[in-house]
Amino acid sequence: MIITNNEEALRVKCENVSLEEAYDLIQTLENELNAANKTNNRGIGLAAPQIGIAKKAAIIRIGDYKVNLINAIIDKKYDLKTFQDEGCLSFPGRVETTNRYQEITLINNLLYPHSMILSGLLAVAVQHELDHTNGTLFFDHAIKTKIRPNDLCICNSGKKYKKCCLK
């Protein structure tokens, strides 16, 4: 069962996953995500801490894309942008405008010991799920101040917000 509205329980530091436990953990996460998606709490990813397991494991399911994150780390980040309406299964109904990188280089240490480049929603989802494994929550990335369209953009591009990340 997915832990909801319990910030303290979700701010755990996680341990690495062994090869022996990886596949069972992925199946458990998949079962929980499928159960959530049968309700009104639909999601595209789930991390082990969200179901009370303090391990560095998460899954993402976006259409035909299936990404299993086991002991994964983000090696490089590019193109910080504003992401509208980021939500989380652990905080149903809550959405925030966040700053996330549009492209990342991911090293998925256990299952695929090589790097891959991810972009767009998939990159944002990976950042979100890996944050869970580090005790960070999506609203920690929320934009705290009101930004007006003519203000300089928060991504430090030097452009006005309305001509940059607001698009």
- Residue percentage of the chain with pLDDT more than 90: 67
- Asked if the model's pLDDT at residue 62 lies above 70, the reply is yes
The pTM score is: 0.83
The catalytic site residues sit at 129
Tell me the domain boundaries of the chain.
Answer: 7-163
How far is Cα 5 from Cα 94, in angstroms, rounded to an integer? 10
Contact assessment for residue 10 and residue 51, using Cβ atoms and an 8 Å cutoff? no
Residue 133 CB: number of other CB atoms within 10 A? 26
- Residue percentage of the chain with pLDDT more than 70: 96
Find the mean pLDDT for residues 79-83. Answer: 91
CATH of domain 7-163: 3.90.45.10
CA angle 156, 135, 133 (to 5 degrees): 95
Phi, psi of 164 (to 5 degrees): -125, -105
